[in-house]
Homo-oligomer: A and B are copies of this chain.
Amino acid sequence: MANIKDIAKLAGVSVTTVSRVINRHPYVSDEKKEAVLRAMEQTNYVRNINAVHLIKGKTNLIGVVVPSIKRPYFGLVVEGIADEALKGNYRLVLIQTNYEESRELEALMMLKLKQIDALIICSKISDWEIVEEYGAYGPVIVFEDARGTNVSSIFIDHYKSFMEALAYLSGKGHRKIGYCLARKSGTSSKQREAAYRDFLKNAGEPFDPSCIFYDAVHFEDGEWIVQRLTTMQNPPTALLVTSDQVAAGILACCNERKIGVPSKLAIVSFDNQPIAKILNITTFEIPLVDIGRSLFLQAINGNFYQKEIPVKLIERLTV
């Protein structure tokens, strides 16, 4: 496999000149350029990108950390990131964590090793201190509320949005409201729980832990949720669901069991994924693809940046 030196020799010029034509620098005479091009053609030359990475100290690779790529939620965010990355001639290195902190740490380490130019964390596990620490090695941006830290972030204020959703349901006459969450820990979950407790306190309603459903992530989780609902002696009349996928699953199971929605159970969800539209699910729109775009743009920009993304209620037929 020919290298730049071979080309130089073959074309009868210096390596600099070859480098110039490779990188489309001006100031190369047409004849020499021709000669170089011909030599490259002859030898089927390709430049070794790793040598370029070494000398430039960057790779045009952006790390993207997600818990699981098969979840449509993250699929949409990554879609946006990928879309923008393409324009900027960047590639994405996908790191799935399955919520294991060690994998997130590995991603952070890649930044330190300069294997990636920047890192986008779509759902964080490790402590803010750790993320802050690694931020010294390159741009890190998190799709999570990082206010109070010096980590860049684009985020939803889940306290606020949960409050809004609760108020909406309350306004529709619901007294007993439950909610479904993807995971117990995590910044977002804590914000949501805080909102829930504060709301209950304000409304003078008692807190009933059996109204909270954890590990509600996929469409198919709708099944056990509905199952559990039916066994409750005093089930909630409305459910706040943090993902359209789960809401869709719940709705499907309710339909199957002839549980009226919204008559017996009202559902408010989040994301406004395509499935929510088809199934007429009332949901809070979160512009995931656009958020993905912004995440990428800020990742390569590298400046400190924190921005809240507002959510918007889309009323449909499940409330």
Contact = CB atoms under 8 A, between A and B. Distances in A.
Interface of A: 46-51, 53-54, 57, 59, 61, 64, 68-72, 75-76, 78-79, 82-83, 86, 91-96, 103, 110, 112-115, 218-220, 222-223, 249, 252-253, 255, 274-275, 277-279
Contact of A70 (B46, B59, B61, B78): B78
A252 B278 contact: yes
Nearest to A53: B50
Contacts of A53: 50, 53-54
Contacts of A278: 219-220, 222-223, 249, 252-253
A63 to B, nearest CB: 9
A48 B95 contact: no
Given A69-B78, A82-B69, A113-B47, A220 B277 contact: yes
A83 B279 CA distance: 33
Contacts of A114: 46, 48-50
Contacts of A48: 54, 113-114
A116 to B, nearest CB: 9
Contact of A49 (B82, B96, B115, B277): B115
Nearest to A223: B278
A49 B53 CA distance: 10
Contacts of A83: 96
Contacts of A255: 255
A96 B75 contact: no
Given A69-B78, A69-B79, A86-B103, 4 more contacts: A50-B50, A69-B82, A222-B278, A249-B278
Contacts of A222: 278
Given A72-B72, A75-B70, A113-B48, A92 B93 contact: yes
Contacts of A96: 79, 82-83, 86
Given A79-B96, A220-B274, A278-B219, A50 B61 contact: no
